[in-house]
Structure 1
Amino acid sequence: MSLFETTELLVFVNVLLQQLGAPVPAVPTMIVSAGLAGTLPGVLLLGVLATFASLIADWAWYLAGRFYGYKVLSALCRLSLNPESCVSQTESKFRVWGPWSLVVAKFIPGFSTVAPPIAGAVKMPLWKFTLASALGAFVWAMAALLTGWLFQGEVQWLLQQMQANLFSFLLVAGLVLGVWLVWKLSRRYAFQARLRMPKLPAGDVLALVRKGESHLRLLDLRPAVIQEAEPLAGWQPATPETALSIAAQWPRHDLIVTMCACPGDVSASHVATALQEAGYWNAKAMDGGYQAWVELQKGHHGGQSPHRLPTVH
């Protein structure tokens, strides 16, 4: 029996495509394949193949993050149906667990794709990344495969029912997918509508810093692991949860500028809105976020690495 007549190739390709970011579910495929495998060694083989496929995709994203940094994360989250969830999950998981969150990343929808480029961006050693990624992928794959193997009788019965009622099954699956897609798109639209607020151009912020504006407060909302790897002089490290307590130390009329490394300045706009609702009327998100700030400083220094800016007290 050739490889093309078995489920091994199907599992390998399915997992590879999903981990690269394609909207194709891999868990159902693994459950069904394990149910058809019959023997435990066959299930273990599927687990090894799924782990290797996942590693190939993770290595690709890791190298992309290593060479292109946050541009990769921004692009990935921009493609997400819910960029708010993409950004908040990415930041919070790395803030709490650090790069070793890769071990559990496969069990968190959306996070498994954005975690590897972050690990690359923060220069996580390749051997440590590979170990954490492989461990997480193997545990994730075996959880699905063992489920299919333990319930192989039910899996085979379900396949028989699907074959006997293929049209009805496809109709129900299409309706469920349509409802889910409409719900996700409505959430995305509602969130973006809430964040339509005036933003402060990065050039204006830089001008105020160089002027030495005493009533300017800068909040850096990038993930903590990123703040430590690439600290920015003049910017106060913060999180969406600590921003209000930090702002409580400042006069309410001060200009508070929030900045993140996320698509559409999602986190920065969210925190600026929360600050405004708390009475800090001059809170604004910086347009373009971290990328705009870095490019603007490079422009002021002839394309060279920018000098550290003076701290704003």
Structure 2
Amino acid sequence: MLDALSPTILAPLLAALCVSGAALGLPVPTMPALIYAGSVAVGRADAAALLAATFAAAVAGGFAGDAVWYLAGRRYGFRVLRVLCRLSLSRDTCVRRTETFFARRGVRILLVARFLPGLAVVSVPMTGLSRVPFRRFAAHDLAGVSLWVGGGLALGALLAGQVDALLAWLQNAGVGLGGVVLLVLAVFIAQRVWRRQRLLRALRASRISVDELHALMEAEAPPLLIDVRSAPNREQDPWRIPGASTPEPDVLELALADLPRDRTVVLYCACPNEISAAQMAQRMRALGFSDVRPLLGGLDAWRASGRDLLPLDALDDTPDDAPAVPLVVAPPPGSRVEA
């Protein structure tokens, strides 16, 4: 079916579908579609019109998809990020990184988000849940989508000869354009699935359950418990497990400098598959800690078990002689991330 369409119709259609699909969180190879669309226009009498139509269609599709997630983030908050992690093949690995980028750069992150793998679709709902005005979101998002689409089309125009040679070789081998699209999509998805499964296999081997953590907390030498959620996440849910501290990632080495490296450490977050806790566990192992374990299900699992929670700014009865990690309290509920 794809082979029967003329380039004038196919190029804008393919670019718009891929850009909008990626904006909605689907695992589609956007850049190859833009490169193909840019290469198709080279040498044609209507090259300018074709490029303009492709650019407009792709930008409109990308912005439409982003607007959906912006409005969802504004209404549903961090629950949207959990949905994205289920839709996408690797989105859960970049939620923490996006929160950190957004806390530092605000809505300006949308200008470059698409150039950093996995960042765009999470940063968009982050602008919504941070209450960035729609007009501001639209201006930055349109600029970011335009840069991404324009860069892909320009790259396709520069590589037009190589793209044509590749398509000709595939056609001689009996593979049409439809087959090429399906092949690229299959390789793209397979690579993402493989990376995700490798990370999850390593994570399953080290997790601790809520019941196991509770038993350790009742023991004579309780573990060091660390809340690794980001500041925006803690702002949305300002509660913690009793005894937990919240050192910021940027000062983690300083906060943990005086603690014994053989002490048991339990990390928890509020993200699918405990990815943030797993990544922090890797970082702490690199600092010399030998027993670091993410909490299975994170804060949500602890809450679902019916066990006690404390407000982030509440003090608990930690023994005076217990080593402590400096407690960094999240902003009060209702405060806004600087945009």
Task: Give the alignment's TM-score, normalised by structure 2.
Answer: 0.69
* CA distance in 1 between partners of 2:68 and 2:85 (Å): 17
- What letter matches 2:276 in structure 1? S
User: 1:128 maps to what in 2?
Assistant: 136
The residue type equivalent to 1:267 in the other structure is S
Amino acid at match of 1:266: I
Query: What CA RMSD, in Å, does the superposition of the two structures yield over aligned residues?
Result: 4.2
| 2:175 alignment partner in structure 1 | 167
Deviates more, 1:275-284 or 1:133-142: 275-284
1:271 is the counterpart of 2:280: yes
1:286 counterpart = 2:295: yes
**Which residue, out of 242, 259, 263, partners 2:268?**
259
**Which deviates further from its counterpart, 34-43 or 18-27?**
34-43
Shift of 1:282: 6.7
How far apart are the structure 1 equivalents of 2:153 and 2:111? 18
Structure-2 residue corresponding to 1:70? 78
Aligned ranges 1:20-59 → 2 under 5 Å = 20-37=24-41, 38-59=46-67
Q: Does structure 2 retain, via aligned residues, the 8 Å contact 1:202–1:292?
A: no
Change over 3 Å in CA distance of 1:93–1:202 after alignment to 2: farther
1:90-101 counterparts in 2 under 5 A? 90-101=98-109
Q: How has the CA–CA distance of structure 1 residues 202 and 76 changed in structure 2, closer, same or farther, with 3 Å as cutoff?
A: farther
1:137 aligns with 2:137: no
Cα distance per residue 1:163-200 (max 9 Å; x no partner): 44333988898888767666554443332232222425
CA contact (8 A) 2:27 2:88 kept: no
The 2-side partners of 1:167 and 1:7 are apart by: 18
Q: Secondary structure at the match of 1:124?
A: coil
**2:126 aligned partner:** 118
Are 2:26 and 2:88, in contact at CA under 8 Å, matched by a contact in 1?
no
Tell me the residue number matched to 1:17.
21
The offset of 1:140, in angstroms, is 0.3
- Partners of 1:277 and 1:146 lie apart in 2 by 42
Question: How far 1:139 moved relative to its partner?
Answer: 0.5
1:193 correspondence with 2:201: yes
CA contact 2:267–2:294 (8 Å) conserved in 1: yes
Q: Which ranges in structure 1 are unaligned for 5 or more consecutive residues?
A: none
More deviation, 101-110/75-84: 75-84
* Cα separation, partners in 2 of 1:235 and 1:64, compared to 1, 3 Å: farther
Query: In the comparison of the two structures, how many residue pairs are matched?
Result: 302
The answer to whether the 8 Å contact 1:58/1:116 transfers is yes
Partners of 1:98 and 1:42 lie apart in 2 by 35
Q: Structure 2 CA distance, aligned partners of 1:263 and 1:187?
A: 16
How many angstroms does 1:31 deviate by? Answer: 2.5
Match of 2:115 in 1: 107
TM-score (norm 1): 0.73
Residue 247 and residue 215 in structure 1: after superposition, are their counterparts in 2 closer, same or farther (change >3 A)? farther
Q: Which one of 226, 230, 254 corresponds to residue 223 of structure 1?
A: 230
Structure 1 residue identity aligned to 2:22: Q
CA contact (8 A) 1:216 1:255 kept: yes
Find the aligned partners of 2:281 and 2:143 in 1 and give their Cα distance. Answer: 39
Q: Answer yes or no: is 1:311 the counterpart of 2:315.
A: yes
Deviation string, structure 1 residues 132-178 (Cα, Å, up to 9, x no partner): 21111000001111223345455455544444433398889888876
- Deviations, residues 1-22 of structure 1 (Å, cap 9, x unaligned): x998463333322321222122
CA offsets per residue over residues 35-71 of structure 1, 9 Å max, x none? Answer: 3334334423322221111111011112222233223
CA offsets 1:68-100 (integer angstroms, 9 cap, x no match):
322332332345444664345434533553442
Worse overlay, 66-75 or 241-250: 241-250
CA drift at 1:295: 6.0
Whole-angstrom distance in 1 between the partners of 2:189 and 2:56: 33
Unmatched 5+ stretches in structure 2: 1-5, 319-339
What percent identity do the matched residue pairs reach? 30
- In structure 2, what residue type is equivalent to 1:68? Y
1:111: Cα distance to partner? 1.8
Is residue 93–residue 276 contact of structure 2 (8 Å, CA) maintained in 1?
no
CA, structure 1 residues 98+221, in 2 after alignment: closer, same or farther (shift >3 Å)? farther
Letter in 2 for 1:219: I
C-alpha contact (below 8 Å) 1:219/1:238 kept by paired residues: no
Aligned 8 A contact 1:83 1:188 in 2: no
> Which has the larger displacement, 134-143 or 90-99?
90-99
Structure that is richer in helix per residue: 1
DSSP-derived class of the 1:248 partner: coil
